[in-house]
Structure formats: structure tokens, C-alpha cells
Amino acid sequence: MSEKVTYTSKEQLSVLVAACSGIFIMPLMSTMMNLALVYIGDEYTVGSHSLAMINTIFLLASVITMVPLAKLSDIYGRKKIFLFGLIVVAIAATGAALSPTFEILLIMRFLMGVGSAAISVSSISLVTEIFPFSKRGWAIGVYTTFVYLGLALGPTLGGFISQILGWRYNFVFMFPLAVISLVSLFRFKKDVISSPDLKMDVKGSAVYALTIFFTMYGVINLPETWAFILMIIGISFLIFFISLMKKSKSPVLDVEIFKHKLFSRSCIAAFMNYASSYSVSFFLALYLQEIGALSAVEAGMIMLIQPVIQVILTAKAGSYSDKISDKRLLPTLGMALTTLGAVMIIFLDIDVNLYYVAAILFILGLGFALFSAPNTSLMMSSLPYQNRGVASGMVAVVRQVGMMVSMGIAMCCISVIMGSTNNLNPATYGEFINVIRVAFIICSAMCIIGTVVSWFRGKDSEAEVQEL
């Protein structure tokens, strides 16, 4: 299929509705479970360590399968992989809602991770292909808004459903979204296949999966000694994986794409953004409820400031990025504001100032809104047509890996300084403040790196890329 293919407004709308309703499922499946964990633990009589696996296994499964699924979408078509993801999510949600044991629930959560990965990599690449360069920033902005909307509504919906109907009904809630996405997807009669003559790299996919598993499982379990060993094993697999990809005729991940400066530096900026900021809600939830003595509802209302700003402004930022010639401006400004927000968190104290916390959340929300859609648009537009599937995979991978690294930093700081948040009480408030300060000194440093990389990523336009 040629890069010059154009699509009607009706086709564009069908794809955008399918993509937005589909991607809305992913953050909901992740965040809705946070306030359901207590109910799950009571039913299955499992502790906090086991309960942590409910979200960990979801994230691991999604990251492990994203790049292979992106490659499959190049070979067999974005629409087919999208459909596969929706079906897997529907089946896994049914299994989770009916799961008789905790182990089966974890298996279903793993499958949900696989399905959500398929939805994520195929939906963003479909949006990129269907919308012309002049409207792409706006479309990706709308798409990204639904990601933020899911993150914002997930905890509240999950807590409400779990309390009123039971935690199993969280999974039932996914079906209407899947139906809306399916109906809209079937209205788009075509498919986008960029590399139909290639073969799937099974060996490369296996090595990639092992690389991600060992490295990420090590990161989220720091500072345990065995976690460092897993990371070393993972890095060893990474070296082998890169060597394997350079020799393969049809690599699952074409490492040559990272020679495109605009793409590689946009990836680094995105990773730094998520790795430095994803733990904010985790820390602030504990800070406001434990030290600030707010109820869960009161803390939730304060913390809604950030996602509300993101929902309101993300699409507008994406649309505005379509109109400016220097595409670095908005994402770099967004990273700079995120840096400011991270630095402000360092100065939190035992004396809680809600206006100061609100200001932090406002600045972070503004920073994320300005960064996300313009940066994603740059990533997706910076590679030739035949690499768009791989690009979509990397968009999702850097986001998910960044989230896991962010929580890894948080857990490591907690383990080293205070051992566990289970002993959080007035006597340990000072230690918890020190945890926050150390964590966000690290996060601020990553933000600064991300800001610098964002500005010095280059100015390649889509027209210039096509000549590569």
C-alpha cells in the first residue's frame, strides 16, 4: 500500500473512535484494580506481595509482547492485530470475572496484558496511517486524551464498582468499550499492511521477551541482590539481541531505526518523561492520606487536578503542534514544566500545604499535556512508512518501561531508606519525606536529561524522512 493513499473523513472518524475506545481499555484495566486489591486479597486470602503481581504481570506481559505484535501488524495488517487484541481482552476479562483461584486470575491478567499490547501498537499506527501529516498531531492528541482519561477515571470507577457490585464487575465494564471499538473498526473496510512479504522473526521475538522479562523483573524488585543478578542477565540478553537483529534478514526490531536521530531522541525523551513522573500519584496518594490526614475521596479530588488538565489540553496541544514549523517546541516546553514539577516535589514537607500540592499537579498536568501528543506524533512521523509498525511498538514500549522504571525507583528508595510503607506512621513520616526527596532528585535529573535531549533531537520533517 502506498504512502500516498488518502482516506475519507468517515474512514478517519471510524478509526479514531475504534482507537480511542480501544486504548481507553488499557489504562482502565491497569488502574481500576488498585482499589480492588483489598477485596481480592480478602477473597483469595493472599498478602500484599502476591497482590502486587496483579498489576506487575499485566505490565510485564504488555511490554514483552509489544514489539513482536508491532512486527506482526506490519506483516498481517494493523486492523487484524487490533481485532486480535480486542478478542483476547474480551476472553481474558471473562476469565478474570469468573476466576475460581488467584492463580487463574493472574493468568487472565497476563492475557489482558497481551491483548492490551496488541490494541496499543495497532491503534496508534492506524491513527498515524489514516490521518494526513497536517492533522496527525490533533488525532494523536485526541487518542492520548483517552489514555489520560482512563488513568484519571480508573481508580474512582474501580473503587466504586468494587464496593457496590464486587471486584469481578470491573472486568465486565470492559465489554461495552470493546463492543464500541469493534463496531467502529468493522466500519473501516480496509487494512494497512506495510510489509506483507516479510516473515516473522520467532527467534528474535523469544530473545526480546527474555531480555525484557529479566531486566524489568530485576528493576521492579530492587534493591534485592537477586534483582541485580536478573538485570545483569537481562543486559546480557540485550547485547545478544542487538547482535542478532543486525544479522537477521527480517528482524522483529530493526535496530537501524535508532540511527534516525529524531526518532531515537524522541524515544529517549518519552522514556525520561514516564520514568520520572509515573510514581508521582503513588507518592502523593500516601503523602496526602497519611501525612495530610485526608480521606481517600479528598485526596482523590486533589489529585484529579493533573489528569483534568491533561484531558482538557492534550488534544489542543496535538492540534497546535500541527501548525508550528519547529516541532521541538511543545514537547521540550512540556519536559521543562515536568522538570519544574519534579523539583517542586523535592521541597514537600511534613507540614502539608494543599495549595502547593495543587500547584505541583497543575504544572505536571500542563507539562504532560504539552509533551505527550506532540512527541508521539514526532516519533510516528520520523520513520519511513514501512517502519511505522515498529515505531508504534516503541511508542508503547518506552511508555510502559518508563512506568516500570519509575515504580522501581520508588520501591528501591523505600526499601533502602525505610524498609516498607507498611510501617508508615507519625514516627516514620520524616523517613518517608526523605524517600520522596531522594526519589525526585533522581527523577529531576532524568527530567533535565529528557529536556535537553528533546531540544537537540533535530528538525527532520516527514518529507525529509521519506528520502532516507
Q: What is the pLDDT of residues 218-256, one digit of tens each?
A: 887 877 889 899 999 999 999 999 999 998 888 888 888
Confidence tier at 107 by pLDDT (50, 70, 90): very high
Checking if the pLDDT of 422 tops 70, the result is no
Cβ–Cβ under 8 Å, residues 294 and 288: yes
Average pLDDT, the chain: 85
Q: Which of 1-10, 163-172, 327-336, 357-366 has the lowest mean pLDDT?
A: 1-10
CA angle 115, 127, 377 (to 5 degrees): 105
Q: Where are the domains of the chain?
A: 7-186, 256-454
Q: Which ranges of 102-256 would DSSP assign to H, the alpha helix?
A: 102-130, 133-164, 169-172, 174-187, 202-219, 225-247
Which positions ≥6 away from 107 have C-beta within 8 Å? 95
Q: What's the burial of 176, exposed, middle or buried (CB within 10 Å: 0-12/13-18/19+)?
A: exposed
Instruction: Write the CA distances from 190 to 73, 77, 208, integer angstroms.
Output: 14, 10, 31
| pLDDT level of residue 35 (50, 70, 90 thresholds) | low
Q: What's the pTM value of the predicted model, to 2 decimals?
A: 0.78
353 φψ region: left (φ > 0), alpha (ψ -120 to 50), beta (else): beta
Q: What percent of the chain has pLDDT over 70?
A: 93
CATH fold label, 256-454: Growth Hormone; Chain: A; (1.20.1250)
Query: Of residues 278 and 246, which shows the higher confidence score?
Result: 246
* CA distance between the termini of the chain: 18
Average pLDDT of 347-355?
94
Lowest mean pLDDT, pick from 85-94, 190-199, 280-289:
190-199
Q: Provide the 3-class DSSP secondary structure of residue 366.
A: helix
Q: Tell me if domain 7-186 and domain 256-454 are identical in fold.
A: yes
Is pLDDT of 112 > 90?
A: yes
Rounded mean pLDDT, 10-34: 86
| CA separation, residue 326 to residues 138, 317, 378, 452 (Å) | 16, 14, 11, 16
Does the pLDDT of residue 381 top 80, yes or no?
no
* Displacement of CA 65 from its chain's centroid (Å): 14
pLDDT in tens, 53-102: 787 788 889 889 988 998 898 888 889 999 999 999 999 999 999 999 99
Q: Residue 280 above 80 pLDDT?
A: yes
CATH of region 7-186: 1.20.1250.20
Return the pLDDT at 367. 95
pLDDT at 1 over 80: no
Q: Which set of grid coordinates corresponds to residue 400?
A: 510502559
Q: Which residues contact 219 (CB under 8 A, 6 or more apart)?
A: 227, 231, 404, 405, 408
pLDDT in tens, 312-324: 888 888 888 888 8
Distances (CA, A) of 5 to 31, 130, 334: 38, 9, 33
Query: 102-130 and 78-98 helices cross at what angle (nearest 10)?
Result: 160
As a whole number, mean pLDDT of residues 348-355 equals 93
Instruction: Check residue 467 and give its pLDDT.
Output: 39
Question: Is the pLDDT confidence value at 461 over 70?
Answer: no
* pLDDT of amino acid 459: 61
